[in-house]
Amino acid sequence: MNRRTTILALALSFGLGLSGAARAQDDNTVYLDTKDGRITIALRPEIAPKHVKQLKTLIGQGFYDGLKFHRVIDGFMAQTGDPKGNGTGGSSLPNIPAEFSSAKFRRGTVGMARSSDPNSANSQFFICLGDASFLDGQYTAVGLVTDGMDVVDKIKKAASGAPGGSVQNPDKIVKMSLAKGK
């Protein structure tokens, strides 16, 4: 049992219940299941409310279930969220205007992928496999992996020299869900 689970279990066993802040955190917790296990992501609506809202909508629709990690560059990032599976697709929802913040792109940061247009994020996102400070202030950070980086590290990487980090026979999201209601 990790520290947070222990604290929550103790609070519940003593009848203290969860504070409003703890409940709000659960409203922004995402479970991303892969063949190798679960990745838990804490969304950050305080820095990217429009992006988080769109992600939650898509998750609620089951949009991400079965999508490929089509671009995975060792030491950099793992990208998914494209229904075409090649980096050119998105959802039927409108693109989202950039919500750049002072959040740092470090190992475990979840950011929105986009084209050269800063206001083109839609459904694709990436998880940083290593620190990527060159993305700071250039991409919208939407969350942070709070558990399961060992699972993220197991996502199949592109072969060395593969164009754009394209992965052959990529791993997929088995299921992506919001913790609320689980």
User: pLDDT tens across 121-170, in order?
Assistant: 999 999 999 999 999 999 999 999 999 999 999 999 999 889 999 999 99
CB–CB of 91/63 below 8 Å? yes
What integer pLDDT is reported at residue 181 of this predicted model? 56
CB–CB of 104/91 below 8 Å? no
Whether residue 17 is predicted with pLDDT greater than 60 in this model: the reply is: no
What integer pLDDT is reported at residue 182 of this predicted model? 52
Mean predicted lDDT score pLDDT of the chain: 89
Instruction: Collect all residues with Cβ–Cβ distance below 8 Å to 7 and sequence separation of at least 6.
Output: none
CA dihedral 55, 65, 130, 132 (to 10 degrees): -40
- At 112, is the pLDDT very low, low, confident or very high (cuts 50, 70, 90)? very high
> Mean pLDDT throughout 26-43?
96
What integer pLDDT is reported at residue 153 of this predicted model? 98
Query: H or E element: which one contains 176?
Result: strand 175-178
Query: H or E element: which one contains 41?
Result: strand 37-43
% of the chain surpassing 90 pLDDT: 82
Instruction: At 63, give phi and psi (nearest 5°).
Output: -55, -40
> Rg of the chain's alpha carbons, rounded to an integer?
16
Instruction: At 20, give phi and psi (nearest 5°).
Output: -60, -40
What integer pLDDT is reported at residue 180 of this predicted model? 85
Q: Comparing C-alpha atoms, which of 130, 146, 148 is closest to residue 34? A: 148
